[in-house]
Amino acid sequence: MRIVDKKQATAALSEFADDIGKGTVVVTSKGRPIAALVPIENADIETVSVSTTRDFVDLIERSRSRQTLEGGISSKEMRQRLGLKEVASPMGRRSARAPAKKDRSKKR
C-alpha cells in the first residue's frame, strides 16, 4: 500500500494508477484518508458504480440486519419458489438456471 498526502499528490492520475499493481494507493489530508485507488478484478463499470453507491450499500446493510434479526429462506427454497432447476455448472458446483422462455417475437 502506498500513502500519499494530497499536497504531494502532484503526479498524473495515470502514474498513480500504474502503482495499483503494487497495492492500494491511499490519498490523505492532514493524516486522514480521503480517497483510495484500489485494484479491481473481474468487474465491469456497472458493478463498480453500484457497489460504491451509498444508497445501494445502505440497502445491503439493512437487508443483512433484517436477515440476522428475522431469518430468511435458503437459496434452495428460493429456487423452488421461482421454479428454477438446479444444474451442474462447469466448475462442478450446482447453480440455478431459469426455465427456458418461449420466443414471443413476431417473425416477419
The CATH number of the domain covering residues in 1-39: 3.40.1620.10
* CATH 3.40.1620.10 domain range(s) in the chain: 1-39
Please list, in sequence order, all residues whose beta carbon lies within 8 angstroms of the beta carbon of residue 19, skipping any fewer than 6 positions away.
2, 25, 37
Q: Using DSSP, state whether 4 is helix, strand or coil.
A: strand
pLDDT of 105: 52
pTM for the predicted model, two decimal places: 0.48
The predicted structure's pLDDT at residue 32: 96
**Predicted local distance difference test score (pLDDT) of residue 27:** 93
pLDDT of residue 108: 44
Cβ atoms of 84 and 98 within 8 Å: the answer is yes
Q: Of 5, 47, 50, 11, which Cα lies nearest the Cα of 30?
A: 5
What is the pLDDT, as a whole number, of residue 38?
87
**Which pLDDT value is given to residue 41?**
83
The reported pLDDT for the residue numbered 89 is 58
How confident is the model at residue 90, as a pLDDT? 57
List the chain residues with pLDDT less than 70: 87-108
Give the integer Cα–Cα distance in Å for 64 and 61: 5
